[in-house]
């Protein structure tokens, strides 16, 4: 029995669902009891954040830790490469998403609400995100991973790219997309499970973006 604690809008939960879809793992999803950060939820998941997993009584939090655990437990359709060096390169990409690009995108969330939006903060965020995309382009141009397969490290990026594009529309966020990154996004969108997850996730994104309207 695999249970995931999640909320519909959480980007890292969407990332994890792509992994589970690609690996054809069955799971149930549940909102954190008492809400995330609550004492009730912290009694189960000490970090209080999402996603978290309980697999046959074993609790684990952090999307990347969960994805790697699931990859080792459910060995069909591996999502980490076979050699030490390729796994290290895959993890380098994952870290660049989780510690650089996504935190820059996260800085835009407080600016979504139209009535309290600070345009300077949006513009500064656009510059920061574009800088990270430019670094990502350099990393991708030397990416040794098989491009015909989906890896754990791809799954966060495709969700974050969807948010950046949504912010471009909803907040007029100005982003400089390197062609290498655009091509990477297009390639990832070509995986059926990615398209299925993003289609299922879109209503949660749209609902969150309602407050961006004047």
Ligand X SMILES: N[C@@H](CCC(=O)N[C@@H](CS)C(=O)NCC(=O)O)C(=O)O
**Between 22 and 177, whose beta carbon lies closer to ligand X?**
22
Q: Which of 115, 211, 133 is nearest to 174 (CA)?
A: 133
Site size for ligand X (CB under 6 A): 13
- Residue 129, C-beta contacts closer than 8 angstroms, at least 6 positions apart: 101, 104, 105, 108, 164, 173, 175
Least distance from ligand X to the Cβ atom of residue 183, Å: 25
3 state SS of 59 = strand
Between 105 and 177, name the residue whose CB sits nearer to ligand X.
105
Cβ neighbors of 54 (< 8 A, separation 6 or more) are: 1, 2, 3, 5, 44
Provide the token pair at 16: 């994890």
Q: Measured from the CB of residue 168, what is the shortest distance to ligand X in angstroms? A: 20
The helix (H) or strand (E) run that includes residue 53 is strand 52-55
User: Site residues for ligand X, window 14-43 (CB under 6 A)?
Assistant: 36-37
The reply on whether position 50 binds ligand X by CB under 6 A is yes
The contacts of residue 210 (CB under 8 Å, 6+ apart) are none
Q: How far is the CB of 47 from ligand X (least distance, A)?
A: 7
> Which residue has the closest beta carbon to ligand X?
49
**Residue pair 159/18 in contact by the 8 Å Cβ criterion:** yes
Per CB under 6 A, 185 contacts ligand X = no
Examine residue 11 and tell whether it contacts ligand X (CB under 6 A). yes
When binding is defined by CB under 6 A, the residue of 5, 12, 161, 177 that contacts ligand X is 12
Using CB under 6 A, which of 41, 49, 71, 153 touches ligand X? 49
- Residue whose CB is less far from ligand X, 64 or 71: 64
Structure tokens at 22: 């690609």
Cα 76 to Cα 73: distance, rounded to the nearest angstrom: 9
- Kindly state whether residue 64 participates in binding ligand X, applying the rule CB under 6 A: yes
Q: Which of residues 91-110 bind ligand X (CB under 6 A)?
A: 98
The span of 45-53, 70-78, 85-93, 112-120 binding ligand X (CB under 6 A) equals 45-53
Which position among 19, 48, 153, 160 is part of the footprint of ligand X (CB under 6 A)? 48
Among 62, 71, 154, 197, binds ligand X (CB under 6 A): 62
Write the CB contacts of 45 (distance below 8 Å, at least 6 apart in sequence): 5, 32, 52, 59, 61
């Amino acid at each position: 029995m695999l249970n995931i604690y999640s909320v519909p809008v959480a980007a890292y939960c969407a990332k994890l669902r792509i992994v589970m879809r690609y690996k054809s793992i069955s799971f149930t999803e549940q909102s954190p009891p008492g809400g995330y950060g609550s004492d009730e939820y912290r009694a189960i998941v000490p970090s209080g954040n999402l996603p978290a997993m309980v697999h046959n009584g074993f609790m684990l939090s952090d999307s990347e830790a969960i994805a790697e655990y699931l990859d080792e437990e459910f060995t069909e359709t591996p999502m980490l490469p076979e050699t030490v060096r390729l796994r290290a390169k895959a993890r380098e990409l994952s870290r660049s998403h989780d510690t650089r690009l996504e935190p820059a995108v996260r800085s835009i969330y407080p600016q979504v609400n139209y009535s309290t939006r600070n345009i300077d903060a949006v513009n500064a965020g656009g510059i920061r995100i574009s800088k990270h995309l430019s670094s990502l382009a350099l990393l991708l141009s030397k990416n040794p991973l098989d491009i015909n397969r989906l890896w754990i490290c791809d799954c966060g990026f495709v969700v974050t790219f969807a948010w950046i594009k949504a912010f471009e529309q909803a907040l007029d966020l100005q982003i400089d997309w390197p062609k290498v990154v655009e091509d990477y996004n297009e390639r990832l969108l070509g995986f059926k499970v990615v398209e299925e997850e993003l289609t299922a996730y879109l209503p949660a994104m749209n609902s969150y973006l309602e407050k961006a309207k004047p």
